[in-house]
């Protein structure tokens, strides 16, 4: 008796065998990643990843005021206190082999993306998309949640558009932090 392959397996084989060798290594690389809900012990390394990626991609476009404000927003003590009170929830993507974090998403409550950062060497591998989909699946079923919001950096606006977010206002700067308000309707 022949077993039928699940749709996800069939899609993997189609993507894998119709791709170039470089693309195949990216596809296989993603299979060695896992998305997990972060525990308290994971918050410091997650914030270190956020700060590192922020410095590389966002800080060069910010004023000194904006960099200081962002650093204060993600300070370990502040975030840890809010995490303990259940105000902020974190998920991360880590490599199965070495346990190294390569991406992180955090939400404030159930409807606002507070942070979404992926290390440069892991860009364009679907990690940010998988992190978002993990959060979306978790919160979509809640009866009072009809939309998800984000204050996107200029760098990430095209990514959020591809996910289905739309701008709700023009780019703003508050305390030196530049962002575009966006929303995703369920």
Domain boundaries, the chain: 1-31, 33-185
Q: Considering the domain delimited by 33-185, tell me its CATH architecture.
A: 3-Layer(aba) Sandwich (3.40)
Euclidean distance between CA atoms 78 and 82, whole angstroms:
6
Q: pLDDT truncated to tens, each residue of the chain (186 aa)?
A: 444 444 444 444 434 444 443 443 454 455 688 999 999 999 999 999 999 999 999 999 999 999 999 999 999 999 999 999 999 999 999 998 888 999 999 999 889 999 999 999 999 999 999 999 999 999 888 888 899 999 999 999 999 999 999 999 999 999 999 999 999 998
User: Residue 82: is it exposed, middle or buried by C-beta count within 10 angstroms (0-12/13-18/19+)?
Assistant: middle
- Asked if 113 contacts 57 with a C-beta cutoff of 8 angstroms, the reply is no
pTM score of the predicted model: 0.82
* CA angle 123–105–175, rounded 5-degree value: 100
């Amino acid at each position: 008796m022949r077993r039928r392959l699940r749709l996800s397996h069939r899609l993997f084989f189609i993507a894998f065998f119709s791709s170039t060798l470089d693309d195949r290594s990216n596809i296989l690389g993603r299979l060695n990643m896992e998305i997990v809900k972060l525990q308290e012990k994971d918050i410091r390394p997650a914030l270190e990843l956020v700060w590192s990626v922020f410095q590389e991609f966002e800080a060069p476009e910010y004023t000194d005021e904006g960099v200081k404000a962002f650093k204060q927003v993600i300070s370990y003590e502040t975030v840890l206190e809010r995490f303990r009170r259940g105000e902020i929830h974190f998920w991360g993507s880590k490599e199965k082999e070495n346990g190294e974090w390569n991406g992180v998403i955090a939400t404030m409550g159930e409807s606002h993306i507070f942070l979404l950062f992926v290390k440069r060497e892991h860009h364009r591998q679907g990690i940010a998309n998988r992190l978002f989909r993990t959060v979306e699946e978790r919160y979509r079923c809640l009866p009072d949640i009809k939309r998800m919001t984000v204050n996107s950096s200029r760098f990430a606006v095209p990514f959020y558009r591809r996910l289905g977010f739309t701008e709700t206002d023009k780019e703003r700067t508050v305390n030196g932090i530049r962002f575009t308000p966006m929303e995703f309707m369920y």
